[in-house]
């Protein structure tokens, strides 16, 4: 089973700053790497799929990059509504399984 490790666990930044969130896989993953945002009491929201493609309706300040075992979610200039928990997720092909990282909490400094 592929394990995803996210860092940092908590990131404290101010609105307007740039956020860089990391997701590292225990072995090379396919391009099936996604990022989600979750706010308290809500379901997760898909931000990025295929490591670097923004989902429908996601603002351009969100971008994803990476391949192999190292992936990054970047938020270019934080808006107040961006403070939330972020998860990466991968889908392996054989066996067909999905795993999530443990999450990064992005909090207001």
Partner 1 sequence: QVQLQQWGAGLLKPSETLSLTCAVYGGSFSDYYWSWIRQPPGKGLEWIGEINHSGSTNDNPSLKSRVTIAVDTSKNQFSLKLSSVTAADTAVYFCARGGVLSHYYGMDVWGQGTTVTVSS
Give residues 35-94 in contact with partner 1 (rule: CB under 8 A): 36, 38, 43-46, 48-50, 55-56, 87, 89, 91
What Å distances lie between residue 11 and 14, 30, 105, CA to CA?
A: 10, 27, 6
- Binding-site residue total for partner 1 (CB under 8 A)? 26
CB-nearer residue toward partner 1: 38 or 74: 38
CB-nearer residue toward partner 1: 97 or 108: 97
Residues forming the site for partner 1 (CB under 8 A): 1, 32, 34, 36, 38, 43-46, 48-50, 55-56, 87, 89, 91, 95-103
């Amino acid at each position: 089973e592929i394990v995803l490790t996210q860092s940092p666990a908590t990131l404290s930044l101010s609105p307007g700053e740039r956020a860089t969130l990391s997701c590292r896989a225990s072995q090379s993953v396919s391009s099936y790497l996604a990022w989600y945002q979750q706010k308290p009491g809500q379901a997760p929201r898909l931000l990025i799929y295929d490591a670097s493609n923004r989902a429908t309706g996601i603002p351009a300040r969100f971008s994803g990059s990476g391949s192999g075992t190292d992936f990054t979610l970047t938020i270019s200039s934080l808006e107040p509504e961006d403070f939330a928990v972020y998860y990466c997720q991968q889908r392996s092909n054989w066996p067909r399984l999905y795993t999530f990282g443990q999450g990064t909490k992005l909090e207001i400094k």
